[in-house]
Structure 1
Amino acid sequence: MSDTPSKDDELAGTEQPFVQHLMELRNRLLYCIYGIAVAVALLAVWPGPNGLIDFIAQPIRAHMPPDAKLIAVGVFTPFFVPLKVLMLVAVLLVLPWLMYQIWAFVAPGLYSHEKKFALPLIIFGSLLAYIGIAFVQFFVLDKMFAFIQGFTPASVAATPDIASYVESILSLYLAFGMAFQVPIVVMLLVRFGIVEIAKLKSFRGYFIVVAFIIAAVVTPPDVISQLALAVPMCILYEIGILGAGWFVKVSKAPEEGDAADASDKPTQS
């Protein structure tokens, strides 16, 4: 088979030198840095690093004595932990902008029908990530700490270290944000012909087992957080299967649609 592009190939002749690709990559990375810097500046003004720490500490403080506070064991912890939280929240805030820069970098190598569904996928994926993080902040942490504090003896004062607490909840944010991308992964697997919808349906029982194994590995050793991750993953898997058929139809190349229409027409003898 010849590697020469056909006349109908819209990407024919659009190849760019390697150096130009590097320059484009540099520009996109700079745009990402600028976006993060603006978000850091805005968050530093309001609500500020201390305000962010107070916000993410609400779930655990709700289950601590009224006069109890989180402690800082390290000498530089009161400075570095709020700064770390500020940076990570800034990245989350501009996540759609970062994803757009990635899309803008690869867009010149995509066909027009691929560009149509790439941007909606980025928006949908960012939205799912935000939903996963919000689910952790407003539901999972509250139930998890209520469960854990229920096992704390009356003679023990539960005063967690702020650095350990932030590290734990950030890992949960990351785990849930990635787990909530299941519909995107399922639809892409079907779209690119890696797996068929019928195969995904038959794999449903195995996926439930995989979801609970993943939840047991990436979440703390409590039943609440494990169920809170595994159950949504199973639900999102079903949503991905339902959306895969529709996604394949709307993201077809024009020639694929014409070929499908031609195959549906009855042949004349």
Structure 2
Amino acid sequence: MVEATVRRIDMKEIKKNLIRKFHKIEYKNTDLNPGYFEIEEEYLKVRNGVKMLRECLKTFKHYEHGSSAVKYLYDGFYWLENKLKTSILQKNDVYSNVACAGNEIAKYTKDKVRKGLGANMQNAYTNVAENKNAFNNEVKNLLLELDVLMEEASAINQNRKGVRDNRYDLEKAILDEQYDTEYIKAERKNLSASCKNCMKSMNSYIRDKRIGEIIVRFQKLHCRFYNSIVDELYVFEQ
């Protein structure tokens, strides 16, 4: 019963949206509160920035498992497996597989220099893989916080839609001359109130300190991870 009710509501909303899409009206009798469009424009830029940041962090969290560079490197591992008649590639991240390659080189080469290089590679990239896992866990926490911000943005978007709907209905009512003055007056008041509340929500989102805090934390986290890579690979400079 509940599902049927929800379905009817959804269909009603879809029908309403289609009517408004194809039956556009020019707003000559209804204005939104002063500054609404300016705040909305700024809000959309900030919201899109948060969305973009979330997608970028997802990439940073998973790049070692499937970027184009990783796939190219995997092709090299497959070629090496065929040459050595042994299994090198494991279903791990790229850093762990580099460590595995170093282990194979150290294990099967007779040259002492290459054996040492292989052992150093194994140790260094094993540590890098562990550091990347720690990095991923911290990025995961940042992503959860960004998810909360996007959920809040979704609620604001519903409020924005409510403002558009109220304005459309009021303008249409005025044009159709189907309602009395008191109704129009009450609806103007409702539109102004919903507009004011939406502006307040957008303004709060624009100035939300959490966005800046997440940016700073990620920059520090990213810097720390790459510094750890430099520390691990410095052995090859000696």
Same fold (TM over 0.5): no
TM-score, reference length from structure 1: 0.27
Between the two structures, name the one with larger relative contact order (CA 8 Å, sep ≥ 6).
2
Higher-Rg member (1/2) = 2
